[in-house]
Amino acid sequence: MQTELSNHLGVEHAVFGFTPFPAVAAAISRAGGFGVLGAVRYTAPDELKRDLDWIEEHVDGKPYGLDVVMPAKKVEGVTEADVEAMIPEEHRAFVQDTLAKYGVPELAEGEASGWRITGWMEQVARTQLDVAFDYPIALLANALGSPPADVVDRAHDQDVLVAALAGSARHARKHQEAGIDIVVAQGYEAGGHTGEIASMVLTPEVVEAVAPLPVLAAGGIGSGEQAAAALALGAQGVWLGSLWLTTTEADLHSRALTRKLLAAGSGDTVRSRALTGKPARQLRTEWTDAWDDPAGPGTLPMPLQGLLVADAVSRIQRYEVEPLLGTPVGQIVGRMNSERSVQTVFDDLTRGFERAVDRINRIAGRSGQ
């Protein structure tokens, strides 16, 4: 599974694995792929430094990257408190009523929310970069369009490639104009924030739109056969995120959530604004249903929705309230029906890739060549 891009980065397989878990990121790189650590949950620079130190010690000298969330445009002088003050009382009451309906306990006195949306704010992302650029990261990815121009320049000054996700060919061309090195074509099937176009249509459109920039295919990919299809469409690699959630190295802190992921089918996800205010694919739960119900107040725009539900999400996760318990995940969840190590996942990916290539060679009359 080698391409020009994987060879340039010095990795054995053109598999880029996005994950919030340092142990998974390191395992992906050790297995011959390219691990990318998601930084959005790190609100304190020391926490990110601790985990990057850990990765350095466990990656066996293999390359890895970091994924941040930075808007290309920002509003100056706005603090988290300013944003909090914009949240209507009607929405706060809806959250409390929904939690009360399912008997979700309060957090213990003094126990802070474990999940905040502050990682989506540019000033937080910039502190993450101040830490990350002290490490030998080989790739900086941005999940919210092209990063600001000064960040692209700073990365390039340190010989760090910059990637950005795109849900359409139009978005991809904007990335190219902004000096981005790699475009991740993220299809409708993917977990998290997605657009409206499916991967089979999106990938070749983006490849054609930004040629000769390398493109990674994302969304609906969880097997070697699907990875081979992505490369056949012109991608130079695949970007996988959901697949790692049920690996043995992942640390979801919830057996109940792991059970739900293992039991879910490909039709058990929904694109909902319930988590952040933008459409994000996640497990369908009674929490997403409540927010998508026309009888409710409706969701708020980003970042208001994320701040509104942060404490509620922490309580749901802390007490494993199964009807409400969910996570961002793509439609590939239907294939995630057993807990496997990252290495086992890679073994399956490479075997499936070989099967697909052999099958195409037989169809083309090239068997044995």
Taking only the tens place, the pLDDT of each residue in 202-238 is 999 999 999 999 999 999 999 999 999 999 999 999 9
Q: What is the dihedral of CA 197, 335, 38, 260, to 10 degrees?
A: 110
Q: What is the predicted pLDDT for the residue at 169? A: 98
Q: What is the predicted pLDDT for the residue at 165? A: 96
As a whole number, the mean pLDDT across the chain is 93
- Confidence (pTM): 0.93
Q: Inform me whether the pLDDT recorded for 108 exceeds 90.
A: no
Give the C-alpha separation, 142 to 151, whole Å.
Answer: 10
State the Rg of the chain over Cα: 20
% of the chain residues with pLDDT over 90: 81
Q: What are residue 281's phi and psi, to 5 degrees?
A: -75, 135
* Span 287-300, pLDDT tens digits: 999 999 999 999 99
Of 122, 217, 212, 121, the closest CA to residue 166 belongs to 217
Select the more confidently predicted residue: 116 or 9.
Answer: 9
Q: Which two tokens stand for residue 21?
A: 């878990």
